[in-house]
Chains A and B, each alone.
Chain A
Amino acid sequence: MTLAEWVLVLTWIGVTAYALLGGADFGAGVWDLVAGGERRGRAERALIEHAIGPVWEANHVWLIFVLVILWTAFPPVFAAVASTLYVPLTLVAFGVIARGAAFAFRKAIPEVGPKRLFGAAFAGSSLVTPFFLGTVAGAVASGRVPPGSARGDPLTSWWNPTSALGGAMAVGVCAYLAAVYLTADADRAGQAGLAERFRRRALGTGVAVGALALGGIGVLAADAPRLYQGLTGRALPLIAASAAFGLASLALLWRRRFLAVRVTAACAVVAVVWGWAVGQYPYMLEPDLTIAAAAAGRATLQAMLAALGVGAVLLVPALAWLFVLFQRTDPPRSA
């Protein structure tokens, strides 16, 4: 593997982590949105706040991590994607602002009125942000982002069948992952009723996302033939694995194996994300900008890998501590 490919693998690990962790936080916001009125939804919202409170800032950083690696190691790709897709990306940025700020605001104040307002901003943007991120993925995957500054169509580059599929899939996957994770959280906290509710939601969204993916095959065949070729060619084992993990997850949910299903559900998502990468290899921007052509010079890539190596030594134990600390059974809270 070349130096550039190593850096790209690290970038893709960042994308994967963002999908699994940041995605679940978005999904939790989606469930917050449909939790119902102030009284009826209180227990669910408390569970959601409790689950994502300590970790969401860290989970959010994966997005920034991906952006900075991309613009350092593959500057033409970053410039082309950001400038052509400035409409959905601006909406993503606004969604990120509304979500992060409103989540912190809601926790900080006791008044019901403003709490509800901030809650709506948090939950609504949890739906909007992954949708537009999904359209961006669809735009890149269907080869609608040409290299250069704003060379692609400002509207149809992200308003097309593949982008719509990407947006819907992103929202669906986020909601699904969140439901799966929250089922186990509720179960561990001894809240059987909540666990059951999230289990049913996980089953429902799991089936829906699966159906969407099946229908998506037809969309991709018609709208993104190159991607379709890649997914059904070199990437086929990964796509098949994703389907198998998806089915296994449904079975595990059915049998209430809440911890095991966390792993299989995550694996299903990981397989799709990497399936896309393998299917598109060696192109970063279809039809002809390759990894090698887009990559920065050797000195930059080496510096980047060195920095990320040192960073990993610091980050991995810190992240491990964060997740272990808050996944243990809680002591009774004094406050």
Chain B
Amino acid sequence: MLPLLAAATPTDLYAARTQMALSLGWHIVVACLGVGFPALVLLAEWRGLRSGDPAWRLLARRWARALGVLFAVGAVSGTILSFEMGILWPGLMGTYGEVIGLPFAIEGIAFFIEAIFLGIYLYAWDRLPPRTHLLAGLPILVAGVASAFFVVTANAWMNQPRGFDLVNGKVTEVDPWAAMFNPATPPQTVHMLLAAFIVAGFLVASVYAVAMLRGRRDRYHRLGFLLPFTLAAALVPVQIGVGDWAAHFVATNQPVKLAAMEGVFQTARGVPLHLGGIERDGELRYAVEIPFGLSLLAHWDPQAEIKGLDQVPPADRPPVTVVHLAFQLMVLCGLALLGLGAWFALAWWRRRDLPRSRWFLRGAAAAGVLATLALEAGWVTTEVGRQPWIVYGILRTADAVSPAPGLRFGLYALVVVYTLLTVATVYVLRRLARVPVPVAPQERDVREVPVA
């Protein structure tokens, strides 16, 4: 028998957090594609059905093939997360599983529906009548959105824990519905769902932007660019409004997180907005300051008070540099994408065409990366900004981690597995994209593309 340890070593806690961050940060990208990509495939199929245009129909089939690969990868990278909930965080699940398990159970049902209809949609493409087939794809979209919603309610609960009483460390009076519909649920779920469609749209569009830069300007590539890019670009301004709502929510309900996001150490009035900067000895250094900026942004009042990190003891503060820079990176990427979308909108309004400049296509080619960066940075902001709590104000991450010895070896193995998975996924997706497309696709070309 190995000796039983009372608590995890700091190394193992750090390893567990890194493992969770890595597997979640990986899954979140394919999950966004899993939510947003079906909408694109269905829209292309619908346009193809209505117009009979081979370009639309070819797009739909080729996209569906990629969707099948991405869905498989998303399903397995999501499965490992449900294992990790218990392997790494038994202190969270053993005590609070009954409070926050319900949305996961509902998500399980939604995911089931997604998987069933994906099987039908991909494998029965040529068996079902076209209209029935299109309709069979709709549950994938609806269930995908529902899955994302329910999972994010669970994360929202970690920020705003509700629906239970604590009596001497025992959980009582559990109300799982109140836990699920906690105050953080509306801003967080809307922000995440919009992000999913934006990331999926820009990622798919960037593939076609690269092809257009290489001279493929035919109808197939134009449509393949226009549909996802327009969808994503149209949602960016909405997302920035929703992001403002989410930030105001954090300012009111998690002021410590907001202070870390903005790098505010001392509670004060008339607080400037800090651009960039890193934490050194309890203050933010090397930041560019915009006077009264933060007070204005947060409360529309230049003299408004902003609570700093000094409102809580140092042991209850998140690491400032990471949270602050991640937050600003997200905002920066969002603004860049807003600018790109505005450029596109202007050109379209004046000439019904893409901007002529190659720099637009270069920007569009980078948009997939920018959107993914914004996604990851936003995720880091909310997760690291909640530290040192796993359940805000209730349970510390260090008290939730498994005391099992040698958790770090799990991390090492995971790094190897995920490196291989990433290489293989990228290889297969690139291989699918390399299948040649005829310049003017005909009926025969459409039928010859296998979906599954």
Residue positions of A touching B, CB distance < 8 A: 53-55, 57-58, 60-61, 63-65, 67-69, 71-73, 75-76, 78-84, 86, 89-90, 92-94, 96-105, 107-109, 111, 114, 118, 148-151, 153-156, 296-297, 299-300, 303-304, 307-308, 310-311, 314-315, 318-319, 321-322, 325-326, 331, 333-335
Beyond known contacts A67-B82, A150-B404: 15 more, CB 8 A cutoff:
A57-B115, A61-B112, A64-B78, A64-B111, A65-B108, A68-B101, A72-B98, A72-B104, A79-B97, A83-B404, A99-B76, A101-B72, A299-B175, A300-B101, A307-B106
Is B241 part of the contact surface with A, judged by Cβ < 8 Å? no
Chain B contacts with A in 99-124, Cβ cutoff 8 A: 99, 101-102, 104-109, 111-113, 115-120, 122-124
Q: Which residues on the A side are within 8 Å of B115 (C-beta)?
A: 57-58, 60-61
Asked if A71 meets B86 with Cβ closer than 8 Å, knowing A118-B424, A150-B402, A335-B449, the reply is yes
Q: Could you tell me if A296 and B174 are in contact, using CB atoms closer than 8 angstroms?
A: yes
Chain A to chain B: the 6 pairs with minimum beta-carbon distance, closest first: A72-B101, A82-B86, A75-B97, A79-B94, A296-B98, A104-B72
Contact A58 B109 (CB under 8 A): no
15 A-B residue pairs with Cβ-Cβ distance under 8 Å, sorted by A, are: A64-B82, A69-B105, A71-B86, A71-B104, A72-B101, A75-B93, A75-B95, A79-B90, A100-B76, A108-B432, A150-B404, A296-B174, A307-B102, A326-B123, A335-B451
Number of A-B pairs whose CB atoms are under 8 Å? 249
In the assembled complex, the Cα of A105 lies from the Cα of B139 at a distance in Å of: 24
Given contacts A55-B119, A78-B93, A108-B65, contact A307 B105 (CB under 8 A): yes
A57 touches B119 (CB 8 A): yes
Contact present for B71 and A57 (CB under 8 Å):
yes
Residues of A contacting B75 with CB < 8 Å?
57, 60-61, 100
A75-B93, A83-B404 known; A97-B421 Cβ under 8 A: yes
Contacts of B249 in A (CB 8 A): none
Q: Which of A63, A71, A105, A335 gathers most chain B CB within 10 Å? A: A71
* A155-B2 Cα distance, complex, nearest whole Å: 9
Is B228 in contact with chain A by the CB < 8 A criterion? no
A81 pairs with B86, CB closer than 8 A = yes
Which residues of the partner chain A approach B131 to less than 8 Å between Cβ atoms?
A: none
B176 interface residue (CB < 8 Å to A): yes
Task: Determine the chain B residues whose CB is within 8 A of the CB of A104 once the complex forms.
Answer: 68-69, 71-73, 428
A residues near B71, Cβ cutoff 8 Å: 57, 104
A306 CB to nearest chain B CB (Å): 10
| CB of B85 within 8 Å of the partner chain | yes
Task: Collect the chain B residues with CB atoms within 8 Å of residue A105's CB.
Answer: 69, 424-425, 428
Task: Give Cα A196–Cα B93 distance, bound, in whole angstroms.
Answer: 49
B72 to chain A, nearest CB (A): 3
* Complex Cα spacing A76 to B91, Å: 9
The DSSP consensus for interface residues of chain B is helix
Partner of A93, one of B65, B83, B403, B405: B83
Collect the chain A residues with CB atoms within 8 Å of residue B166's CB: none
A335 and B450 contacting across the interface, CB-CB below 8 Å: yes
Cβ B118 vs Cβ A300 within 8 A: no
Name the residue on B nearest A330 (C-beta): B127
Q: How far is the CB of B413 from chain A (nearest CB, A)?
A: 7
B86-A83 in contact (CB<8A) = yes
B130: Cβ under 8 A from any A Cβ = no
Q: Of A55, A93, A155, A326, which one neighbours B80 at CB under 8 angstroms? A: A93
* Nearest CB of A to B78, in Å: 8
Contact A296 B97 (CB under 8 A): yes
Q: Which residue of A lies closest to B83 (CB)?
A: A93
Min C-beta distance of A204 to chain B, whole Å: 31
Q: Which applies to chain A's interface (DSSP): helix, strand, loop or mixed?
A: helix
**Contact indicator B90/A80 (Cβ below 8 Å):** yes
Q: Does chain A have a CB within 8 A of B79?
A: yes
B450 CB contacts on chain A under 8 angstroms:
335
* Chain A: minimal CB distance from B89 (Å): 8
**B431 and A150 within 8 A (CB):** no
Q: A65-B112, A100-B72, A315-B116 are in contact. Are A303 and B177 (CB under 8 A)?
A: yes
B386-406 interface bits toward A, Cβ cutoff 8 Å, 1 = contact, 0 = none: 000000000000000011111
Contacts of B76 in A (CB 8 A): 96-97, 99-101
| A303 close to B102 (CB less than 8 A) | yes
Residue of B nearest to A106 (CB): B428
Q: Which residues of B contact A63 (CB under 8 A)?
A: 79
Instruction: Tell me which of B112, B404, B428 contacts A86 (CB under 8 A).
Output: B404
Residue among A89, A310, A318 with most chain B CB within 10 A: A318
A101 in contact with B111 (CB, 8 Å)? no
- Please tell me which one of the listed residues B2, B80, B124, B127 contacts residue A96 in the complex, with CB atoms under 8 A apart: B80
Task: Determine whether the beta carbon of B79 is less than 8 Å from that of A331.
Answer: no
Measured in the bound complex, the distance between the Cα atoms of B417 and A198 in whole Å is 33
Closest residue on chain A to residue B180 by CB atoms: A303
Give the complex CA separation of A107 and B66 in angstroms: 11
A68 to chain B, nearest CB (A): 4
Say yes or no: B105 contacts A57, CB within 8 Å: no
Asked if B292 is at the interface (CB within 8 A of a chain A CB), the reply is no
Asked whether A80 lies within 8 Å of B94 as measured between CB atoms, the reply is yes
B427 at the interface (CB under 8 A from A): yes
Q: A105-B69, A300-B174, A335-B126 are in contact. Are A67 and B83 (CB under 8 A)?
A: yes
Q: Choose among A71, A108, A318 the residue that contacts B116 (Cβ–Cβ < 8 A).
A: A318
Q: Which of A68, A149, A150 meets B107, CB within 8 Å?
A: A68
A61-B115, A96-B80 as given contacts; A304 in contact with B123, CB under 8 Å:
no
From B85, B91, B102, B427, give the contact of A304 (CB < 8 A): B102
Closest to A75 in B: B97
- Write out the residue numbers on chain A whose beta carbons fall within 8 Å of the beta carbon of B402: 83, 86, 149-150
The 8 A CB mask of B247-287 against A (1 = contact, 0 = none) is: 00000000000000000000000000000000000000000
Q: How far is A101 from B423 in the complex, measured between Cα atoms in Å?
A: 12
Bound form: Cα–Cα A330–B108 in Å: 31
The reply to whether B101 and A311 contact each other, CB–CB distance below 8 Å, is no
Q: CB-defined interface of B1-15 with A at 8 Å, one 1/0 digit per residue?
A: 110100000000000
